[in-house]
Chain A
Amino acid sequence: MERARLEAQSTGELLRGPEGSAESPFDATEREIVASWHSSGGYERAVAEFVDRDPDIATQ
């Protein structure tokens, strides 16, 4: 495990600590569209369609 951590550290994949601010890549309109799609169940329905064909990415 320590080897895996060292590898992740050397490639910069292991974050050095909390980043503090969680800035969205989306602007306000985009955020509203995506959030409403998510909260209304659209995301869940889309996921249900493709995990049906790909059990490797299903919630177990």
Chain B
Amino acid sequence: MALVVDDHLLLNLLTETHPPWLDNELERSAVYTTGSWYYRVALAMTRGTGDGALSSRLTTLEPDRQRALLEKVGMLPQWIGLIGPRVLVPVMAALSVRRRPNLLTAEALAAALVTKGDLVVSVESPILHSGADDLGVSYRLV
């Protein structure tokens, strides 16, 4: 079994704040995310501005510890799978779905197909949901 998790669940996993049901799933499922969801996390952590910036929360740390934390964003743990564009792009290009997906949605659908995984998201995504239905992929909103 496999799960393809969105950016919020990825952050939960990285900070060990994921819900207990996901802990149980980790015992029997491989966990993947996508490049687009990982990119959103990395971009928000390293380049977020304004009142959403992580940097404003880092002021309690010494500068070298701030740098160390941000560097860790670029080191996705090996236990989280990430399928690259060489494999996914042809699958994304061939998706047969009723509603046109953007890059993030197409990548998530392709990752679920290649890994034979369930899509597990924490924000309702109507086009991702309908695409999953079209492709026979399990879609779980948690």
Contact = CB atoms under 8 A, between A and B. Distances in A.
Interface string A10-43: 0101111111111111100111011111110111
* Dominant SS among interface residues on chain A: helix
Contacts of B120: none
B135 to A, nearest CB: 10
B103 A15 contact: no
Interface range for B: 35 or more
B142 interface: no
B72 A42 contact: no
Contact of A46 (B12, B26, B48): B48
Nearest to B51: A45
A13 B7 contact: no
A44 B122 CA distance: 12
A27 to B, nearest CB: 9
Size class of the A contact interface (CB-based, 8 Å): 35 or more
A59 B103 CA distance: 10
A51 B123 CA distance: 15
Interface of A: 1, 4-5, 7-8, 11, 13-26, 29-31, 33-39, 41-51, 55-60
Interface of B: 1-2, 7-8, 11-18, 23, 26-32, 36, 39-41, 43-45, 47-54, 57-58, 60-61, 65, 69, 72, 75, 77-79, 81-84, 86-88, 90-91, 101-105, 113-115, 123, 125-128
Given A18-B30, A38-B8, 13 more contacts: A13-B87, A14-B83, A15-B79, A19-B26, A22-B79, A24-B15, A30-B69, A34-B11, A35-B11, A42-B53, A43-B52, A44-B52, A60-B127
